[in-house]
Amino acid sequence: MKAMKGWAALVLIAALAAPASAMAQGRAEVRKQAEMSMVVTGTVRIAADGRVEDVSVDREAQVPGDVVKLIGGAVPRWRFEALAEPAPAAEVAMTLRVAVRRDPQAQTDDAYVMRIVSASFGEPEPPFDHSTPPPTYPTRAAMQGVPATVYVVARFGRDGKVRESFVEQVNLYRVGTQAQMEWFRKSFAEATLAAVRRWSIVPPSQGEEAGNDSWLVRVPVTFVLPGHQDKAYGQWDVYVPGPRQRAPWARQTADAGVDAMAGNGPRLLGGGRRLLDGLDGNG
């Protein structure tokens, strides 16, 4: 965790500024929950005993220096589960979400902390064909111009159909009162789950995954209006993160958190080396 002041305060406050109204106080409370974040990709080399031997950041020149420094200091302290047999160190793809948020322990309003808040490991795409038709944009959210990203996990059976699905987190990109934010999150979650019922996969017929009874897939579902442009790699985005929830039927995976995903593609869960320590290296 790294304390920050100045530029972070200016960017975050400017991005979340809203006109004064009767609901200003309620919005101010929600605004305190907002954060700036970016998704950064790279590679981590993991030894057989679980130690991190090396870490690299993709397109490092495009990533803010403070973010590169944070990753270079935190990731080498991580510890992954050890292999049962000796083996050479493995290069593993890594996706991290780095966030800047107000420091809840600070005495002033312009103190911020930067930390890695979620991580995923391995290639982002599942190794088999899939169909994920998009959901319908909730009418009220579309009329009020509220964008969102919903992170949903689904379990597919051997027939390729969804057995179970669960919304793990809903991030909103517009500030309202707490009640409004909860209402929008519920609307986006319901719209996403309605679409998930129509999703399907073509189960693999060969390889390590072919013998499974089911497969877990996580998908970030993005709700944006026409004209929206995604942030470029290495640029900050501002949003209000929703609470994280875990599907009661989902087994533990190698990922730490749910919103460290590059792009909008599905991600197969269940494989990879599990991170034993917390993302700050303190367990």
**What HEC string does the chain produce?**
CEEECCHHHHHHHHHHCCCCCCCHHHHHHHHCCCEEEEEEEEEEEECCCCEEEEEEECCHHHCCHHHHHHHHHHHHHCEECCCCCCCCCEEEEEEEEEEEEECCCCCCCCCEEEEEEEEEECCCCCCCCEECCCCCCCHHHHHCCCCEEEEEEEEEECCCEEEEEEEEEEEECCCCCHHHHHHHHHHHHHHHHHHHCCCEECCCCCCCCCCCCEEEEEEEEEECCCCCCCCCCCCCEEEECCCCCCCCCCCCCCCECCCCCCCCCCEEECCCCCECCCCCCCC
The reported pLDDT for the residue numbered 8 is 41
Q: What is the pLDDT of residue 102?
A: 78
Would you state the structure tokens that stand for residue 153, as one six-digit string? 């996990």
What does the pLDDT read at residue 12? 43
**pLDDT means over runs of 10, the chain (283 residues):** 44 43 58 86 96 97 96 95 93 93 71 89 71 91 93 93 95 90 96 94 79 89 86 91 90 80 77 79 46
Look at residue 9 in the predicted model and tell me its pLDDT.
40
- Cβ neighbors of 37 (< 8 A, separation 6 or more) are 97, 98, 99, 100, 117, 236, 237, 239
Please tell me the distance from the alpha carbon of residue 266 to that of residue 158, in angstroms, as a whole number.
Answer: 18
Q: Which two tokens stand for residue 183?
A: 């209402």
Structure tokens at 250: 């989902």
Exposed e or buried b per residue across 186-215, where buried means at least 16 C-beta atoms within 10 angstroms of its C-beta: ebbbebbbebbeebebebbeeeebeeeeeb
Q: What is the pTM of this model?
A: 0.84
